[in-house]
Amino acid sequence: MHIPIKRSRTNQIFGGVIAGLCEHYDWDPAIGRILYVLLTLTPVFPGVIVYLLLWMLMETPY
């Protein structure tokens, strides 16, 4: 099962997940990363687990 959103090839720091989501929705990747880090710091949002799941489910850009 794959998500039809591709990870970013050119604008990646770790896996290109957040940048791929931002490119798909025409957002600024820097703001997307800041929002994701802020969400990850809250105790309700399991940020690392969600990132790893998205990394495995998103299509590769190659």
Total of domains in the chain: 1
- The pLDDT value recorded for residue 48 is 87
Domain that holds residue 9: 3-59
pLDDT band at 5 (very low <50, low <70, confident <90, very high): confident
pLDDT mean over 32-49: 90
CB within 8 Å of 23: residues ≥ 6 apart = 8, 11, 29
pLDDT mean over 27-36: 93
CB within 8 Å of 4: residues ≥ 6 apart = 59
